Amino acid sequence: MKDQVREILEKFKIEGEFHRPPPPPSLLPQFIDHTLLKPEGTQEDILKLCREAKKAKFYSVCPNPCWIPLAKKELGDSGVQLGTVVGFPLGANSSDSKLEEALWCVRHGANEIDMVMNIGFLKSGNFKSCQDEIQRIVEKAKVPVKVIIETCLLTDEEKVLSTLLVVQSGAAFVKTSTGFSTGGAKVEDVRLLRYASQGKIKVKASGGIRTLSQALDMIQAGADRIGTSSGMKIIEEAKGVPL
């Protein structure tokens, strides 16, 4: 796999430039996972998150797992999807506990899972354990799984390697960041993950995306989804009017 990683990085230097046309304002909400993951978030904060998502027609909301039943009830049949996080934010939980958390979330209404990869396993060269953990959740949860690889902690080689493991695991997305580590999404990382995935999975950018300009930069670089707690601000900026 090291040779494959090296080959991808060499080709990326030549072929990696990518520019997707920006979406019109009417379609931008469908790129956004409206997110609230801060530990001090209250019940009223979660209800507000869901109501904003319904009003703006965001693709999904993403609260912490304990709020899944409340968010499910509030979203009702609005069409807004309900995501959540697993093994968040460190990814260092046991594989069994991650699986059980994912299954609990799905039983209570989550239809997307953003799980954190075990970064220590990856850096230790334990690639099989990394992939097996993801694959178990993909196969048993039976909902789209996005794998957070925490790009700020990885070398370019590790970013490519992680993406390849995510592809082989059967997950739906590779995701840049938790937003709780030393850095967030970067345009150059989105381009690299998109290139390394070879169109086999999608890319989610998250962490520090707070403005329309940042969101559009990520989308144009290849992001298929944007995770942000600033969704309303971004949409209002795109449409030029408050929602």
pTM attached to this predicted model: 0.97
Angle between helices 2-15 and 156-169 (to 10 degrees): 110
What is the CATH classification number for the domain harbouring 80?
A: 3.20.20.70
Give the list of residues 6+ apart from residue 91 with CB closer than 8 angstroms, or none.
115, 116, 117, 118, 119, 148, 150
Over pLDDT 70: what percentage of the chain?
99
**Which of 198, 197, 191, 183 lies closest to 221, judged by CA?**
191
Question: Two tokens at 54?
Answer: 């319904």
Q: What pLDDT score was predicted for residue 185?
A: 98
Domain span holding position 119: 2-239
Count structural domains, the chain: 1
Q: Is 202 a catalytic residue?
A: no
Residue tagged 């840049």 (tokens): 176
Q: What pLDDT score was predicted for residue 47?
A: 98
Q: Is 204 a catalytic residue?
A: yes
Residues in the chain predicted with pLDDT less than 70, given as ranges, are 241-243
> Residues 146, 159, 175, 202: which is the catalytic one?
175
Q: Is 48 a catalytic residue?
A: no
Q: What pLDDT score was predicted for residue 241?
A: 60
Please say whether the beta carbons of 61 and 82 come within 8 A: yes
> Residues 114, 146, 159, 189: which is the catalytic one?
114
**Which of 69, 80, 73 lies closest to 106, judged by CA?**
69
> Residues 98, 159, 186, 204: which is the catalytic one?
204
Q: What is the DSSP string of the chain?
A: -HHHHHHHHHHHHHH----PPPPPTTTGGGGEEEEE--TT--HHHHHHHHHHHHHHT-SEEEE-GGGHHHHHHHHTTSS-EEEEEESTTT--S-HHHHHHHHHHHHHTT--EEEEE--HHHHHTT-HHHHHHHHHHHHHHH-S-EEEE--GGGS-HHHHHHHHHHHHHHT-SEEE---SSSS----HHHHHHHHHHHTTSSEEEEESS--SHHHHHHHHHHT-SEEEES-HHHHHHHHHTS--
